[in-house]
Amino acid sequence: MTVRKLTMAKARTRLPEWFRTRLPSGELQKKFNETKSTVTENMLHTVCQEARCPNIHECWAAKDATFMVAGQECTRGCRFCAVGTIKRPPPLDENEPQNLADAISTMGLNHAVITVVNRDDLPDSGASHYRKCLEAVREKSPEVSLELLCSDLAGDHQALQSLLEDMELEVFAHNVECVPRLDSVVRDARASFKQSIGILIQAKKLRPDILTKSSLMVGLGETDEEIVEALQLLKDADVDLVTIGQYLAPSPNHLPVDRFPEPSQYDDWSKKIEEMGFLGWACGPLVRSSYKAGELLAKASARLRTVKE
């Protein structure tokens, strides 16, 4: 069998039984359809769709969605990601901030996650556009808590400062994605664990009042010990919230899945995370970086209040 066929065969490995998800029905199906219609009518892109998230039915039925701004294609080509790649993206949509704000207002969300594609073609990597989107949502829905799942802004700390300065934001998130050793295998050559950690550290320095968050995938070739080491690096960077979830190959052309840790392993990582002193975490096979983000923020805020008291 050729290497190509082996890769495709591995990518089609049968999922363990704990990956079964239920489709919504009745009232939940109605709410899912309402969310889908709002996204479509406002010409918005969601990471729920673009990244083929396995939790889309659960989250959308709960009126919870993660919006993706600055286009539906990325200037980078990470080997794990389902989002399309393009070298020269079309111009930014000037109406996107208002459309986004209108959609979030219509949906009546309590917590909104706004994520972005990499825009290496822009001088500030899109920071000024991301800020406009956040400001539009804040103006339209001042009661909604906001979470930005940001790119690494090409490591540009000045662009990060222009984005975060005086911005009303509850959570600044940026995903390191994998353990450091696997950077060259998993991520685009323009991304690295070191650059990502640098952005998270700088975000906390600029805005110590904002919670920082990151995410790791498993099943890419890492060891359990490397996950714990990466968690410690995140803690050393003063990251407050962390998630760990199973990598699933979006297609035979993406990296094949290396392993499926048992659910009990996620329990062990959760215990480690708690011992390390993170404020909030979510660990599980189907967990994604924005999974139940509002609930995670609420629990972390409660823990923070307890610590201060």
Contacts (Cβ under 8 Å, ≥6 apart) of 26: none
Distance from C-alpha of 221 to C-alpha of 204, rounded to nearest angstrom: 30
* CB burial string 271-301: b at 16+ within 10 A, e below: ebbeeeebbbbbbbbbbbbbbbbbebbebbe
* pLDDT 10s digits, 183-203: 999 999 999 999 999 999 999
pTM of the model: 0.86
CB of 194 closer than 8 Å to CB of 152 = no
Choice among 20-24, 161-165, 205-209 with the minimum mean pLDDT:
20-24
Q: How much is the pLDDT for 290?
A: 86
- CATH number of the domain at 3-9+21-308, out of 3.40.1080.10, 3.40.47.10, 3.40.50.720, 3.20.20.70? 3.20.20.70
Q: What is the pLDDT of residue 15?
A: 73
Share of the chain above pLDDT 90, in %: 66
What is the distance between the alpha carbons of residues 134 and 131, in angstroms, rounded to a whole number? Answer: 5
Which pair of tokens denotes residue 291? 């999974």
Mean pLDDT, the chain, whole residue set = 86
Predicted pLDDT of residue 107: 79
